């Protein structure tokens, strides 16, 4: 039975001239890369363009990859920079959620109260400094470790942790003052239930993609 | 009840009754399970103890959990599920790479060799090196502990020559006898003792005195 090659082994093969190895890397990482870019862009067509351009850049610049970080982290870093450049071309700020369309699941029933709270929460997240928002997004939505976040953000491990910590503590401080908002407790109760149910599923999905 | 230590850090006073004992940052680390491994046993058990005894700290931890859950609930990215979609995306990506190669040629690659430990050569080289090191160590050990046979002979000969000259200068007949006896002793001490004893038996008191004077005694 053929052993599945690791990302680093596939990278070695590409550097040795095997283009099929890069095709395998694309298959492995295109879905998670699309999810990451879709999270920031909220436009599927734009996210696809960024994914395509990111893989092309990775193929062109593979000699620069020195395996200090994982290939996935390096690819994510390329995608984030590509996305920032695309937004800059449009005169937009990548991390400014107000400039992007909100992707709402059309099948979900969205109550007015819940929508208001989500809007309030997004607004608070939007006020966070860019690096804190990025660390928060990568940790909570992408379920990445602080080591991976540090690699993607090209910063030390402790800095990645600190950015996340400051973001969450700041949100806590601001949202605690919103306890008087009607429906907040119910919203939080639902959110906690959804989190408990989603956490094992998210881990399983991550394992499949890896 | 065992009092739990002040975990607010050095220089900071213990929390008053209405505040948490442990800073929120520490509770966040606990929540994210990123506490440093060397602290895991002691610190984690301390934190668990605090949670059992401090409603304020429990409140802080719960509020952090709520905020995290609330942020997570904003995750509404809907990915396409169709396999056909991803096949198309893959094809688009590889086509873009082909177009780039057609226009600009293949990117320059330096042929890479897998690291030694990947190639399996490292094991062979490691064993070879270990073997050589052991051989060198054994040889060095043997060399350092080799019995110094020649060193005992040379001083013995020089002491004997010196002694022979001394004796010969006093009594020439003793010189021949001395040379004959020289090779029959196993150690320097035996030879010298026996030689001295034999010679002294044959010397007159005057000759003995003269001999000792010449030897510096």
Q: pLDDT tens digit string along A95-108?
A: 554 334 344 444 44
Is residue B90 included in any domain, yes or no?
A: no
Is residue B189 included in any domain, yes or no?
A: yes
Q: Where would I find the H helices in B54-172?
A: 55-72, 83-104, 116-119, 121-144, 149-170
Pick the more confident residue, A145 or B214: A145
When pLDDT is cut at 50, 70 and 90, the band that residue B94 belongs to is: very high
Which residue from A146, A147, A165, A143 is spatially nearest to A36, judged by alpha carbons? A143
Please identify, among B72, B88, B106, the residue that sits at the C-terminal boundary of a domain. B72
Three-state SS annotation for chain A: CCCCCCHHHHHHHHHCCCHHHHHHHHHHHHHHHHHHHHHHHCCHHHHHHHHHHHHHHHHHCHHHCCCCCCHHHHHHHHHHHHHHHHHHHCCCCCCCHHHCCCCCCCCCCCCHHHHHHHHHHHHHHHHCCHHHHHHHHHHHHCCCCHHHHHHHHCCCHHHHHHHHHHHHHHHHHHHHCCCCCCCHHHHHHHHHHHHHHHHHHHHHHHHHHC
Pick the more confident residue, B93 or A116: B93
CA A88 to chain centre: 19
* pLDDT score, position B33: 74
- How far apart are the C-alpha atoms of B160 and B157, rounded to whole Å? 5
pLDDT at A57 over 70: yes
DSSP letter for B71, please.
Answer: H
* pLDDT score, position B51: 84
CB < 8 Å to A122, chain B? 74
* pLDDT score, position B143: 74
- How far apart are the C-alpha atoms of B182 and B195, rounded to whole Å? 9
Domain coordinates in residue numbering, chain A: 1-94, 107-210
**What percentage of residues in chain A have a pLDDT greater than 70?**
72
* pLDDT score, position A119: 81
Lowest-confidence pick of B9-18, B52-61, B200-209:
B9-18
Q: How far is A21 from chain B (nearest CA, A)?
A: 12
Mutation test of the interface with chain A: which of B27, B29, B35, B71, choosing the one with the most A Cβ atoms within 10 A? B71
CB < 8 Å to B65, chain A? 192
The answer to whether A23 contacts B90, with C-beta atoms less than 8 Å apart, is yes
- How far apart are the C-alpha atoms of B117 and B104, rounded to whole Å? 36
The CATH number for A1-94, chosen from 1.10.10.10, 1.10.1740.10, 3.40.190.10, 1.20.1740.10, is 1.10.1740.10
When pLDDT is cut at 50, 70 and 90, the band that residue B161 belongs to is: low
- How far apart are the C-alpha atoms of B86 and B70, rounded to whole Å? 31
Most confident of A49-63, B24-38, B120-134: A49-63
Q: How far is A208 from chain B (nearest CA, A)?
A: 14
Mean pLDDT for chain B overall? 70
Is residue B144 included in any domain, yes or no?
A: no
Radius of gyration of the CA atoms of chain B, in A? 46
Most confident of A30-34, B14-18, B46-50, B53-57: A30-34
Most confident of A114-118, B122-126, B130-134, B193-197: B130-134
* pLDDT score, position A11: 95
Mean pLDDT for chain A overall? 80
Tell me, yes or no, if B102 comes closer than 8 A to chain A by beta carbon: no
Q: How far is A140 from chain B (nearest CA, A)?
A: 6
pLDDT in tens, A118-146: 788 888 888 899 899 999 999 999 989 99
- Beta carbons within 8 Å of B142's beta carbon, 6+ residues apart: none
Highest CATH level, class, for A107-210:
mainly alpha
* pLDDT score, position A13: 93
* pLDDT score, position A102: 41
Q: What's the number of domains chain B is made of?
A: 2
Is residue B121 included in any domain, yes or no?
A: no
Lowest-confidence pick of A177-186, A200-209, B98-107, B120-129:
A200-209
Query: Which structural domain range is residue B209 located in?
Result: 149-214
Is residue B120 included in any domain, yes or no?
A: no
Mean pLDDT of all residues in B187-194 = 58
Mutation test of the interface with chain B: which of A9, A61, A165, A209, choosing the one with the most B Cβ atoms within 10 A? A165
pLDDT in tens, A59-96: 999 999 988 889 999 999 999 999 988 888 877 666 55
Is residue B112 included in any domain, yes or no?
A: no
Retrieve residue B32's tokens.
Answer: 């994210």
* pLDDT score, position B121: 56
CB < 8 Å to A178, chain B? none
- How far apart are the C-alpha atoms of A176 and A207, rounded to whole Å? 35
The nearest alpha carbon in chain B to A22 belongs to: B94
When pLDDT is cut at 50, 70 and 90, the band that residue A29 belongs to is: very high
Is residue B39 included in any domain, yes or no?
A: yes
**What percentage of residues in chain A have a pLDDT greater than 90?**
49
Please identify, among B72, B87, B108, the residue that sits at the C-terminal boundary of a domain. B72
Percent of chain B that is helix, strand, coil (3-state, to 5): 70, 0, 30
Mean pLDDT of all residues in B170-196 = 53
The ipTM is: 0.76
Retrieve residue A79's tokens.
Answer: 């995608």
Retrieve residue A126's tokens.
Answer: 């939007």
Mutation test of the interface with chain B: which of A13, A16, A111, choosing the one with the most B Cβ atoms within 10 A? A16
Is residue B133 included in any domain, yes or no?
A: no
Please identify, among B46, B72, B98, the residue that sits at the C-terminal boundary of a domain. B72
Tokens 């990302």: give the residue: A7
């Amino acid at each position: 039975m053929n052993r599945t090659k690791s990302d680093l082994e596939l990278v070695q093969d590409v550097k040795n001239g095997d283009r099929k190895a890069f095709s395998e890397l694309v298959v492995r990482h295109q879905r998670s890369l699309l999810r990451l870019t879709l999270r920031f862009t909220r436009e599927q067509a734009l996210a696809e363009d960024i994914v395509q351009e990111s893989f092309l850049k990775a193929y062109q610049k593979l000699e620069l990859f020195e395996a200090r970080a994982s290939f996935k982290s390096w690819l994510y870093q390329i995608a984030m920079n590509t996305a920032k450049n695309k937004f800059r071309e449009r005169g937009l700020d990548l991390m400014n959620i107000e400039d992007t369309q909100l992707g709402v699941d059309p099948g979900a029933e969205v109550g007015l109260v819940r929508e208001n709270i989500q809007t309030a929460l997004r607004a608070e997240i939007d006020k966070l400094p860019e690096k804190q928002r990025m660390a928060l997004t990568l940790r909570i939505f992408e379920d990445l470790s602080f080591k991976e976040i540090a690699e993607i953000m090209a910063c030390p491990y402790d800095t990645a942790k600190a950015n996340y910590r400051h973001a969450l503590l700041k949100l806590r401080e601001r949202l605690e003052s919103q306890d008087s908002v009607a429906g907040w407790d119910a919203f939080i109760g639902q959110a906690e239930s959804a989190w408990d149910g989603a956490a094992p599923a998210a881990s399983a999905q991550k394992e499949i993609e890896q | 009840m065992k009092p739990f230590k002040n975990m607010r850090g050095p220089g900071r006073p213990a929390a008053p009754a209405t505040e948490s004992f442990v800073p929120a940052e520490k509770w966040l680390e606990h929540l994210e399970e990123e506490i440093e491994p060397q602290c895991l046993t002691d610190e984690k058990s301390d934190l668990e103890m605090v949670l059992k005894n401090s409603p304020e700290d429990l409140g802080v931890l719960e509020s952090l959990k709520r905020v995290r859950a609330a942020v997570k609930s904003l995750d509404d990215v809907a990915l396409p599920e169709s396999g056909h979609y991803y096949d198309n995306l893959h094809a688009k990506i590889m086509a873009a790479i082909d177009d780039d190669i057609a226009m600009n040629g293949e990117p320059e690659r330096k042929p890479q060799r897998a690291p030694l430990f990947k190639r399996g050569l490292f094991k062979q080289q490691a064993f070879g090196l270990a073997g050589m090191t052991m051989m060198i160590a054994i040889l060095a050990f043997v060399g350092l502990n080799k019995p110094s046979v020649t060193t005992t002979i040379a001083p013995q000969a020089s002491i004997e020559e010196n002694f022979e000259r001394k004796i010969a200068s006093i009594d020439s007949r003793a010189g021949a006898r001395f040379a004959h006896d020289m090779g029959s002793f196993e150690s320097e001490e035996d030879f010298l003792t026996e030689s001295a004893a034999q010679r002294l038996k044959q010397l007159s008191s005057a000759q003995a005195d003269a001999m000792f004077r010449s030897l510096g005694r």
